[in-house]
Each structure stands twice: as C-alpha cells, then as structure tokens.
Structure 1
C-alpha cells in the first residue's frame, strides 16, 4: 500500500509533510489533496496529527480539531484516550475526568492551558481529587483546536509531570482569518436517566482586512441529566468472633465475649455475631436465648470450620444505589490577537466555565459493618467469600443524600512574541497567567432503619450479590424507625489558584537556536470541611433527648416519620427532601456550619501553597549524519520549590491552624534526538529527568500530640521530597503515505520518591507545636530529656521510601488510509503494555490505577458529505488501591477490564447556507458497566450502569 499513487508522498515526491500550523489545524482552508484523494473532516485532523508527530523532535502526540468548534470527540478526555499510553479515568456515570500516562496515576500528569499551569477545584460524583488531578469535564471541547501530549520533556517545558504533560490550546481569531460564525445544537438521550440533555454552542470570530487585529468569542451551554443505577459495598468484612465463638478459653480475668486477635487472624472483624440468639431469630427457625458458641456456629453452618466462619467475607454495606440529578455547565471563551507588524504578535486568551450539579443519591444498605446478623447455612468458596447464607436478625437502612454542588473556573493568559535583529533571528517570548477555581458542595444525609428481618443472600454468579427479604422496602409505612438513625450536615469548600509568568529569549531560527529563559509559577489549594450534624440532629430527631429516637421535642417525631418518606424509583423508598429541609431549619444550620477537620469525601481540611522558579537553557539544531538529517534538542532546567502546608490541629483541647514550610531544588536535564534515516522513516531517542511534586493530601499537618510522656506524635509531612524519574525512550515511525504511519516506542522510567508509612525522630522544636500549649506533664517529660531544644520526638508520618519503582513499557500505533480498498476508508489502532517492578523495601509493587494493557482502534470512512467512524477502547484489569483495605492485610481494590464502543457520524448539506451538518454520536454502544472488586473477582466493591447515550445535532458555519 505504501506504493499506491493516492498517497501524497508519492504524488509530491516530498520526503516529509510540512508541520501543520495551529491556524491550519483549525481553519477552513481548502482540503488537503493527496493526489486523487481529497482529505477533509475527521481525516484532515488525522493528517495534521501525523504531520505534527513527524516534524516533532520529541515523543509527542497531538489531536487537532479540523475547524473551530468541531473537536473530533464529545469529551476532551475521550480524544486523549485514543493516544498511545494514555488511559482515561471515568467517573461513575461514565464521563471522562482525568488521564493517566504510561503506568502512573493522574496526579503524575501535568496539565496546562495554553502553556500555563492550571488547577481545578471540582470533585466528581465519586472521587476526592485532592491532589494534582485536573478535571477535564469542566472544559468544553468546542473551545479547543489542539491537544498535545508530550511524553518526553524539553528544558523549556514546565516541570511537574513525571509521566507527561498535556497542553490544551484554545481557539484564537487568526486560526481562521476573516469573519465567521459557528453554531451547534444537540440533544442527548441517556438510557439510564431516560431524559433528554440539550446543549448549544455559538462561536464568532473576526479579523480586520489588514490582518493586524482579531477577536474571537464563544459561549456554550449544557443541560445534562444524570441517571445512574448500581451496587456498592463500601468494602467487605468478616466476623469478629469472641473467645466463646471460636472455641478458645480466655485468660484469667478476661471476659469470654472479648474478640481476640487469635480468633480473627485475617483482620477485619467489623461484623459482630450476637452472643445469644435474639428474639428475631425465631423467624428463621432459631431458638431465642441459645448461646452462640463455636459448636452452635458449626452446627448451623454445616461443612464449614471455625476458621472459614471467622474469615467469611460479606459486603460491609451491601446496597443498591440510584442517582438522579442535573449536570449543567455554562462556559465562555474570549481571545484577542494584535499583529501590528511581522515582528510583533500580542494575544490575550480567557476562558470561563461554571457548573451547577445536583444529585439526589439514595441507597438501601444491608447492615454488615457493625451489624449483628446471625449466619445460618452459610457457604464460602476457596477464598472465603460467602456464596450463600440465611442471615437472621438482619436490618436495612436507607441513606438519602441530596448533593448540591457549584463549581467555577476562570483563566486569563496574556502573551507576546517579539522579533529582533536585521535577520529577525532573535525572538523574545513572554507570557503571564492566572486562574482560579472554586467549589462548594452541600451533602446532607438522612438515615432511617427498617424493621428487623431475615435475609436470603446469594453470590453464586453474576456481577453482584443478590440480597432479598420479606420486607417491601418501597413502602413508606413499613415501620421505618429513627432509632439507630441519624442526620448529617456535611459541606465542603475548595479553592485553587494559579498564577505565573514565563519569558525566554531565542537566538536563531526555529530549527537552529539557543534559548534561555525563566518561569515563575505559584499554585494554591485550600480544602475546608464544615459539619453541623449534631445541631441538626438535635432539631430533627433528638428533641429533648440525647439520641436520635424521634422522641418529644423532635421536629419530625417517630409518629410522623412515614409522612416524610416516598416510594422511590429503584425499588426502595426515598425522602421528600424539600419538605424535610423546610421543616427542620436545615438551611440556617447549613449556612452556619462550623469548620471541621475533614469533609465527607475523605479530604482533610487544610491548604498548600507552592512557589516555583525555573531557569533553563536549551539548544535546538540539525546536522547531517550519513547524509540524513538528525534533529536534536538538549537542555538543562533548574527548579526551586517553596512550599507552605497548613491545616487545623487540636492541642490541649484548643483547635488552631498550623503552618509548616519546606523547600527543595532540582536539576532536570533532557535530550531528544530524531533522525530521518530514510525518506519515510524517523528514529527517535530521548533521555531525561522529570519531577512531580508530592501529593498535598500526604502533607497536610494533622499533629496529634496527646502522649503524656511527649515521646510520640503523628503528623503530615511537609518535607516529603518530590517524585523523581530517570527516563529513557527509544522508538520511531515509518510513514506510509498521507496520514498513514506505523510507530513503535520502548520506554523506561526509574522513579524515586514513593511514600510509605514511616517514623521520623526529630527535636521537639522542629515539630511546630508551641511549647506553651503542652500539658504540664508533657512539659515535665521534655525537661527530663534535656528540654525542648534537645528532647526528641518520634513522629509517625508518610516518608519517601528508599527504593525505586521501575516502569517499562511498549507503545505501538498504526494509522492507515485504505483508499486502495474503498475510497475514503481508513483505520487507526494502538496498543500499550506496561510492566512494573520495585527495588528496595517499602516500595509499592505497582503504581495503582493504571492498566497493564490497553488498546484502542477507530475505523473511519469519509466520502463527500458523509462521514462515519466507530471507535473501541479497552483497558485491562488493574489494581486501584493499596493493600490492607478495611483492616484485611491482603485486600486491594481492583477494576475489571472494560471496553467501550462509540460511534460518530455526520452528513453535510453542502448546498444550504452555512453548510449545515447533521451529526449523530452514540457513546457506550454496548451499554458496558463499570465494576470494581474487593480482593477477589466475586467480591463486588462497586458496580455502576452509566447507560448508553445517543446524541443528535446540527452544526454549521457562516
């Protein structure tokens, strides 16, 4: 096929396609002509990507929009996931949020907007995002013309991404000179929510006739409807057997009802089997009052031994879950360019996005955690996962949580390029940036309990356990009770801010030059949790009492509880939220909630501020080696980081904020070589040292110094060193013609800096705790050991491990037009394999959250006004957490392998004004779920059905 005359390189005789400029990548210029084949639409965007890759000296992949407002995917994350080595993290509703590159989690990816650092404050439906992740679903694809993933660095590139750097380039007026107006309207239907989600976009641009000034502005609005069904476990647990229940004699003076480690050797133990059969056991044919000892358990669970009963795994809170709400987003973009002469170029890029999200989340929980179920006829498999059982004395609770969340983001990026000298061979590039994002989420919780019942439990096949009882859980008048219930007010506020400036001076042209420059970046993230649960519970169900029973004085007494409940959409009850909140003074208590030490997402209250300076020198050149062009880039970046970590601490009963400082400096060398060894073959090699700063969540101070002898403390570690990687890449591509090429890359990373639990022994004065705040006994203990300057304290904290994590992998890609088979036909396919191993003690065996194998492919066909493509993305099974989940040492969380098929098609009405294009997009065609497991494949941790989404729209340009 490489010799076929339809390919441009045979037709033109050129040894390389020219690199597409940013204006070409998004412009409405004439279609690229490859002899007899006219390339337009999606195929033209592939052509630009191929040309950019060929002309790059680094290992880089780029996704282009063929025109302003027309990105090739509905989600930025989806476009990036089609790049080799890039894995997309999805929220529980299937929406792409963050990306991971080459075997490392999303915190190791540096994300920039128009070359400048950004941070987002959003969370997601089921994520914490308290580190360095950037949520991509805040950014409308319509505003962007180019996404670039740089897997190997240059010295002039912002540091911060051990795995790679993703840059999102927004549209500018001179991307398409002239006056233009683009519109798009679309409606999407999701099979789970069973609702229509409309969205619309309008983008206008204008440049004057002299080509010196231009302005572009656009708005987009989405009214998304959330609908999600699934199953959750909140982990798995096993019984905490007593001396009596496991058949051991307790030591003298020790109650036989204690739960010793000898009876629970596998850890866990959150499920407490009662000491005697409760009265409710009669419903299951049991005799109330019988002592539940080892013999009783063996007799009523034939075929099992005591160890199997002790290690029997059930969901901690096995629950069906339903989510319903809105995912609305409004965004705007404004860009101005001024080019008063060929030597001067000034620009200003701004972007604003805000999201309003609601989620009426309800789930029905079988109480395993801290529950008191009695197992009968229980069976387990070889891994001690319970496959079937009758549970007497069982109980459910409803957990209703109506989330409300608002997120905002804005950024501004002014910059300029100035040419000097008679030959215009000196170029000064300057840029400044600022961004801010903030989020507020309120997530109250209402929990009521069912009557005691008997449950039939089956886990013998399928994607989740089956849990059934004789109760009608969708009946508000079933007998739901406040006793043992609760209500919570949990709010969370987040703010992220970035600002900075960059400048470099280039001597020489764009191919042969020396650059010197600097960069300053400042980033800040603050998280605050707020909790007013006690006050609200006093109003709702405590009344004049001290516990939640719905007694006298309660705003919702037990007798009225049923009137606030409603049949739900998923087979169990929900709450009349509006009436409930109105009648319990919720809104005033929400607004006056005091700050707490953590949020219900698990994020700690606290903040981090970083000030980073970078100075670099970089050289770019070309040389002839054996009559073939060798292009190379080499340089050195020197970076300094000053960090201030702050968070609340409580000492001697007094809560106050504590700030801790740290700093470090690093040298980051890099080189990149690209050798055109043949007319259509490029070989590449790269070596570098890269850095990612430590996770803020491990650095927030949470000092606990309650030890009366003042010898031990626990604390966040602001002195965590950064993750540092030594990288080597080797690869190349064979360009088969047009947009076609075959590529192979081998990569290797040796990473230092992974954190583990450790102990630091430091002088008391370095602890950051005021001596005056200590109890008298603690002060005396310090004086006894030489005083606060000499006495040392053992601080339990996260520390950098001494070992090394090795990540080795291979990426393969094949992009090929097939016009010789069918005019307009083609495909793209790529595969990535990642292998990880560790050296030294305490280093995790794997970096969590990345599949060892992933691949994706797209078959496309474009002919005249018709365009269609089908894409499939596959992620292999992967580990997504550390060990020791729920106190069980061997337990990790895993994600099932998953594939997703998507369709995109369009038909252009070429003879009508604006050449309107009818578009059809279908995501998750085969309706694939998202499933995770706890240690074993049949221990479902979570299972979500995001559904299939069909989007029909129209788009055109005047």
Structure 2
C-alpha cells in the first residue's frame, strides 16, 4: 500500500464532507457565531464533555491563535489519548512519528525532525548527544495539552526550522477548587505474554490567606511496560561473481536477526505552587522530573555473507542451489557449505534517561505593561550499558531464501542444540555516559497601546547557557580463548523464543545463545576471567568531549488589528540571536598516536524576522498568511570532534565543531472554516527552503593504533526544499437520530514534496526520512456516559539512506522504509461523574514495519512488535 493513499482516506474524507454539509447550513443561519467555547452554551444547546470537549477545546485554541498551529487537549485529568507525548502527536496534521519497539520515539513536523521541544514554553533537552528533548520520556498523564506551532513568532524561542512542540503541564489555578484524581491501568503485551501496571494521580488545591490566594499541585505517574520485538535485518546487496558461472549477481551481505525481550519504566512527577498576593500579580514555582529506563535482553544470529573478506567467509556454494528472482540479477535462494563467521549471541542492553526541570517566575500587570520574568534550570543525563557474548559455530549447510513473505535463513547437517558444535567467540562491552544542564533567564514585556490599529508592542530578552559532557566511554571488543561451551555451561542457554516473526516463518530457531542474564556490567570482570580474556577494560579518552553553548536573544514584536472593512489582525517582529560555542575534546596525532587536549570555539549571529497575518472575511472564516526565517543548531554529537571507533568493523565516526546551523526561509498559508461548536475544516500550504543541511561524509584509510578505519563525519550541504499541503477537519453528527447523534469524525491528510542534491552526488533525491503522504483519522462516539475512539494513521514509503552498491549506475543504492498503517482504539464508560472504566487497544492489526534496499528483491529490516491491551479505572473528586 506504500504507493497510494489507502481507501480509508477517501472514506474518511467523504464521511467528513457528509457530516459538515448540514452543519454548514446551520452555521450560515447565524449572523456571527461565537468562538468555540462550550462553557458558554445555553441550556438548549448540547452539553459536551470528555472526547468531544477535548476536540472542541483544541479547535478553540487553534482558532484564537495568532499563528498556524494545532493542539491536542486531554479529555480529562491524566487523559491524553496515548501513553506518551510522542504517541499522541501522530494524529496532528502534518506530524509523523518514528517508532521504537512499538511506541513512538521521535516526531517530525512536515517531514523534518528539526523541531524545538519545550515544556511550558521553556526549551527542554535530553542529554543523549542530540539537541532536543526525547519525547518518549514524557508520560502523557502529566500533560494537559500539547501545542504544535508550525509558524514562529518573534517572542518564541528559536531553534525549530519546522516548528515547536510545546508540552503543557497543569497549574493549581487551572482548577476552581480542590481536585483529586487517580488512574490505574493494567497493560497486556501479546508477544511478551506479560502484564504491566500503570498508575497515575493528581492532587491540586487552592486557598485564601491573609497575603493572597495560594495553590499547590502535585501529579505523578509510574508507567511500566514489558515488551518483545522481533527484528531480522538483511544487509545491503553486493556483487558476487562466484555464484553463477560467467555472471555477476547480487546477494545481500548477510543476515542479522534478533529477538528483544525487555522491560521499560517511565516514572514522572510535576509539582507547582502559585501565589496571587494581588489581582495583578502572580508568582509561581514549578519542578518536574521524568525518567525513562529500558532493560532489554537480545537473542539472535549473525550470518555474514561478504566474499570480500575471505578470512571471515570461507565458503562454497552448493551446486545447483542458486536461483534468481525472475527478470533480475538478484539472488532469490542459495545454499552454502561450511559457512564460516557465523555466530549466535546474547546481549544485555540497558539505557536510562533522567530529566529534571525547575522554574520560578512572576507575571505582573502594571498599568498598560504585562511584565513576565522566568528563571529556569534543567538537568539531564543518559547512560548506556551494552554487553555481548558470541557463540561461534560452522553449520554444514546454510540456506538463504528471499522468496517468502519473510526472508529466512536455515541450517542443516549440524545439531545446533549440541554444545560441542559451538565455541565461545568475542566478548564486547560498550558504555556511554552523557550529562548536561541548562540555566536560562527570560524577561518579557507586553505593552498595550491605545491605538485603533497597533494594539500591543512586545519586547523581551533571554539568556541561556547549555553544557553537555560525554565522559568515561568504553569500547571493548576482544576474542575469548575460543574454549568449548562445556567448560562453562552456565553461560549459555537455548534460544527462548520459537515463534520468531510469525508462526509460519521457517527461520531456524532451535539454537544456543549466551545467557544475557549473566552479562551485567558489574560482573564483567568476573566474566573476562572465566573466558580467559586478559585485556583490561579501559575508557577511550579520544571519544570524550564537553561542549558549552551560550545563547543571547532579544526581540521586538508589534501586534495589530483592523475591524473596519476587511477585518484582520496579526503580528510582525524580529528576533536577534547570538550563539557562542566552546568545545573541549581530545585529538590524536596520526603520526605518533599521542592523545592531547583540544579546544575550539565558534560563534554566529542571526536576525530572524517573522510575520503572521489573519484575515477575517467572515466571522467564521480565517485566511492566515505567514513568513519567517528560522534556525536549528547542530546536535552536540555532531559538533564534537572526538572519534568513536569500532575496531571489529573498521568503522568510526566523529563530529565537526565547524558545522553551521541549519537556516530556513518559510512561507505559509492556511484557510480555516469554523462551525460554532460543531467542528471545523482547514487547508494549509507551506514552502520551506533550508540551507546548510547536515549530511555524512566518509573519509577512508584513516589509520589509528594500527587499524585502518573509514571515518564518517557530518558536513554542511547546500540546500533542501520542502513543499506541500495539509487538509482535514472534524465534526460531530448531531443531526443523526437517537444514539447515532453521538458520532463524530476527525481526518487529516498531508502531502510533502522534498528535494536535495546532497544525499546522492549528481542526482536530486527526496530528503531522507520525509514521507510524501501521511494520513490520520478517527471515528469518535460519546453519548450517555459511553465514549469510544478508533484511531488510524498511515504514512507512505520513505527514502531513508544510501549505501555503496556497484549494481547502481551512480555508484550507490538506496534504502527505503516501507509504508505502514497503525490502528489504536479505546472504549470508556462513566458510571457517574466520579468513576470511569476504560479498555484501550494499541497496534490492533499487529503491524509489521519493514524496509528494503531498493525493492522487494532486496529486503532490509523487519520489525514485529506487541499488540497491547489496557484495562483501567479512573476516578476524580
């Protein structure tokens, strides 16, 4: 389905149009319908709550904004429609997400991941070498809403070429009185065959004192998830002249398949204090914490097929075993005798993010001045521990078959459950540590102007200093004494999963693997001793770095409005930004091998103008026009000049402290039609021209410690273009009879055309990671305490990367992530105003996410993830 828009797109848009026809007729009968504010309805109107209330609140926020933006608003306390912030974003027009083990882990606005993440308007980050905040870390229960800004304003923090994602938490003055709520859910994952609890709660109160009104709020969540993923990965095709006499054919360079079983833990807490000593003065203090840890064990096979490395792949083809895909030179099936270099593995991989945010500030209305001051401090860390032990074996016959629904590798002639057929292979340890912090101070003044056209002048400034440090990394990859398994029987076990990918797959599953439970980092020295590895574990100082970044910004913004003739309003402004970088790292002398400290600085200044205009030809029809210049700075990992080396593969990577920021010029237009409290439709078009795109460049033949490496570093390219449109809407079918009047629908579609000449030299391609088509829709129902939501998302095939491939005339092959869809659903019932039961479903259809190396005859990766079912109960007093 990757080459076309799914049939359900037409069905959803047709249903939306059918639902809006009578609504539009009703809206036209009104002389001036008010903004979508359900609380202002009279007794004759429909009283809304829950799902419908959240949809209408999001519509109202979009309508009243001075920018082109979209929102997701929680149904109730702790009730965004998904478990994490990034999963909730997949239904926003123009937003697509990437997935990790069945849950979202990154978001793209209009095709690009050059997004600024903020929490309550403050820049947020996760110290993992990137620049933004890991949206996967944020439990949805802590949020009241998520705003996606697609056009900037001068008073907003710079840093997102394609937009800003602002996660809004709750404050005690958001509630009229003391409020206490809780939510308990039990999650079942079908592949892991395990249950995991999710608990969240909120308490908020406010009270009068002799020195003004005060309020306090605390909200917490503890999400746990047991999961399993099956991930076979087929490497890029290489030319082989030894398979078919007198003919060059193309065969993948090997198979790497793994079953991953793990447990994730996502706790979070928000606290807030507010004090209003006078009607014109508000003081607040906030603190937030989010953590995300994943402990996973991996079991699998590595079956290399690289004829270019004869020492690793001494093999002979079984005569008559080779067949090709019809009409191609791509191998469909082949068998080898005594294939060397094959190993099974066991892996323990543990990661943890920890994020903290603190803020104090005030808002003061002084005459025609609205002064705001905000001081914040953010702190983050990220740790990775990866341990692997390989079990080498040489199967008598190995058969690769790519002609099935799932490509497979099978072994014959060797008993793979007999320990005597294995020997211990390499032992590996990789350790990463990141830590960073970011203090910031911001002051803003919104000055009201008594003028018939100019309404406000906004001025302000911000200073922010961010530090990120990468320290004590370990890269350990050593061979054992290659002893038999019999000497240490506790270190291995049988592969625990016999249903890899699907019950119909023919990939061999009955084999032995190292026991990941015994590969913990704390026991690594004992493990080295047992396996006879004498090389000590040491850090790699040439990979360490510390980057300091200081940003000073100021802005002026004018707000205007006209109510005579053609009504319009908007803003125009400019933001000044100075960025200063200071990089401390280590550099190795290529001649002597000596490592020495290295320091480099860099600085640049930007002027970022923006214009947002909203035309109002009718009270319920808006036309928005926007122009802006934006920037996104390189990630800290891209800036660090230090090397990360992998001797086993002869590859390495390093950063580039001379990278320039990505800068863009953007034009936007949006047409929005609103229908009172019934819904809305919209059409928006956009054009982005981005310069200084960052691409990878490979330097071959770099010799370090006697090993020759290919070093990949980031470099600035010339340009990238993004053009497209998004359209959609939402409505409720109030005109239907009886129980059917509770129905509603949401639908949106995005088309993106991207272009660059930097990915493949001499050829124009799409930008990597940008889907041409994406679609989201939801069927809604709410009536009599019953609420239901069925949500569908789909995106088309995406160009992801290039690889060296002599089969292609331009010297490179192209990899693609195939299009896929995702279906979620939920049912809830309100027993009364205080208690609600819910049943939720994720990945209902059991989607498998796939990639290819240029077509069906060259498979890439496959990802099979859990279906999830959640049963819960929620209360609120």
Same fold (TM over 0.5): yes
What is the CA–CA distance in structure 2 between the aligned matches of 1:646 and 1:578, rounded to whole Å?
38
- The unaligned stretches of length 5 or more in structure 1 are 21-29, 123-129, 241-245, 247-296, 542-547, 551-556, 599-603, 705-713, 761-794
Query: What is the alpha-carbon distance in structure 1 between the residues aligned to residue 698 and residue 58 of structure 2?
Result: 50
The structure where strand makes up a greater share of residues is 2
Q: 1:755 to 1:141 in 2, by over 3 A?
A: closer
Q: Which one has a bigger Cα radius of gyration?
A: 1
Structure 2 contact 777–791 (Cα < 8 Å) conserved: yes
Match for residue 784 of structure 2 among 834, 843, 864: 864
Secondary structure, counterpart of 1:526 in structure 2: strand
1:400 maps to 2:339:
no
- Alpha-carbon shift at residue 406 of structure 1 (Å): 2.9
Alpha-carbon contact 2:348-2:517 (below 8 Å) kept: no
CA contact (8 A) 1:476 1:562 kept: no
Equivalence for 1:378: 322
Matches within 5 A, 1:607-756: 607-624=546-563, 626=565, 628-651=566-589, 652-702=592-642, 716-756=655-695
Distance 2:32 2:725 in 1: 30
Query: How many correspondences in the alignment?
Result: 802
Distance in 2 separating the partners of 1:331 and 1:892: 41
- Residue 171 of structure 1 corresponds to which residue in structure 2? 170
Secondary structure of the structure 2 residue equivalent to 1:925: coil
2:405 is matched with: 462
Counterpart mapping for 1:2-151 below 5 A: 14-17=32-35, 35-91=44-100, 93-104=101-112, 106=113, 108-121=114-127, 130-151=129-150
State yes or no: 1:480 paired with 2:422: yes
Q: 222-231 or 428-437, which moves further after superposition?
A: 222-231
**Aligned-partner SS, 2:841:** strand
List aligned pairs for 1:554-953, cutoff 5 A: 559-570=486-497, 571=509, 572-578=511-517, 585-586=526-527, 593-596=537-540, 605-624=544-563, 626=565, 628-651=566-589, 652-702=592-642, 716-756=655-695, 798-801=714-717, 803-821=718-736, 822-838=740-756, 845-884=765-804, 889-910=811-832, 915-953=834-872
Query: How far 1:703 sits from its partner (Å)?
Result: 8.2
**What is the CA-CA distance between 1:940 and the residue it aligns to?**
2.5
Equivalent pair of 2:544/2:642 in contact (CA under 8 Å): no
* Residues 1:559 and 1:904: Cα distance change in structure 2 (over 3 Å): closer
The within-5 A match list for 1:112-511 is 112-121=118-127, 130-209=129-208, 212-233=213-234, 235-238=235-238, 297=242, 301=244, 305-308=246-249, 312-316=250-254, 318-369=255-306, 370=309, 371-376=313-318, 377-381=321-325, 382-395=327-340, 396-421=342-367, 425-473=368-416, 475=417, 477-482=419-424, 485-508=425-448
Distance 1:558 1:57, change over 3 A: closer
Deviation at 1:495, TM superposition (A): 1.6
CA deviations over 1:387-409 (Å, ceiling 9, x no partner): 01111122431121111233211
Evaluate the alpha carbon distance shift between residue 796 and residue 949 of structure 1 in structure 2; reply closer, same or farther with a 3 A threshold.
closer
Distance 2:61 2:554 in 1: 27
Q: CA deviation at 1:528?
A: 3.8
In structure 2, the CA distance between the partners of 1:715 and 1:864, relative to structure 1 (3 Å rule), is: closer
Residue equivalent to 2:8: none
Shift of 1:479: 1.6
Q: Secondary structure at the match of 1:43?
A: helix
Pick closer, same or farther for the CA change 1:953–1:372 going to 2, 3 Å: same
2-side partners of 1:14 and 1:517: how far apart?
A: 36
Cα 1:34–1:523 change in 2 (3 A) is farther
C-alpha distance in 2 between matches for 1:859 and 1:759: 48
1:109 to partner: Cα distance: 0.4
Q: Secondary structure at the match of 1:891?
A: strand
Tell me if structure 2 keeps the 8 A contact 1:59–1:151.
Answer: yes
Q: CA deviation at 1:957?
A: 0.6
* Higher mean C-alpha displacement, 80-89 vs 324-333: 324-333
Alignment partners' CA distance in 2, 1:558 and 1:66 = 57
Cα deviation, residue 380, structure 1: 2.8
> What SS does structure 1 have at the residue aligned with 2:756?
strand
Structure 2 CA distance for partners of 1:34 and 1:227, relative to 1, 3 Å: farther
Q: State the Cα distance separating 1:357 from its structure 2 match.
A: 2.2
Distance 1:32 1:595, change over 3 A: farther
Question: Which SS does the other structure have where 1:84 is aligned?
Answer: coil
| d(CA) in 1 for partners of 2:383, 2:476 | 18
Q: Contact (CA 8 Å) 1:8, 1:34: kept in 2 or not? A: no
Equivalent position SS for 1:87? strand
Note the C-alpha offset of 1:477: 2.2
- Asked if structure 2 preserves the Cα contact closer than 8 Å seen for 1:403 and 1:441, the reply is yes
- Secondary structure of the corresponding residue to residue 444 of structure 1: strand
**Which structure 2 segments of 5+ residues have no match?**
1-18, 498-508, 645-652, 700-710
Superposition deviation, residue 885 in structure 1: 7.4
Does the 8 Å contact 2:238/2:806 carry over to 1?
no
User: Structure 1 stretches (4+) deviating beyond 6 angstroms?
Assistant: 5-8, 587-592, 757-760, 839-844, 885-888
Deviation, 1:70, is 1.8
Query: How many angstroms apart in 1 are the aligned matches of 2:159 and 2:80?
Result: 27
Is the Cα–Cα contact under 8 Å of residues 746 and 777 in structure 2 kept in the other structure? Answer: yes
State the match for 2:874 in structure 1.
955
Residues 882, 644 of structure 1: alpha-carbon distance in 2 compared, 3 angstrom cutoff: farther
In structure 1, C-alpha distance between the alignment counterparts of 2:535 and 2:185, rounded to whole Å:
38
SS at match of 1:489: strand
1:790 matched residue in structure 2 = none
| Change over 3 Å in CA distance of 1:7–1:946 after alignment to 2 | farther
Q: Measure, in 1, the Cα distance between the counterparts of 2:613 and 2:776.
A: 28
- Separation in 1 of the partners of 2:534 and 2:273? 43
Counterpart of 2:458 in structure 1 is 515
User: What do you get for the CA RMSD once the two structures are aligned?
Assistant: 3.2
Query: Is the 8 Å Cα contact of residues 31 and 40 (structure 1) preserved in structure 2?
Result: no
Counterpart-to-counterpart distance in 2, 1:470 and 1:34: 80
> CA offsets, 1:611-664, max 9 Å, x none?
1111100011111352x3201110001111001233332122222332211110
| Paired residues of 1:348 and 1:413 also in contact (CA < 8 A) | yes
C-alpha spacing 1:344/1:463, structure 2 compared with 1 (3 Å): same
Q: Distance in 2 between matches of 1:456 and 1:49?
A: 55
- In the aligned structure 2, how far is the partner of 1:659 from the partner of 1:721? 18
- d(CA) in 1 for partners of 2:389, 2:153: 53
Q: After superposition, what is the alpha-carbon deviation per residue over 1:845-900, rounded to whole angstroms, capped at 9, x for unaligned?
A: 32211211001000101002100010100011001224437998422321110100
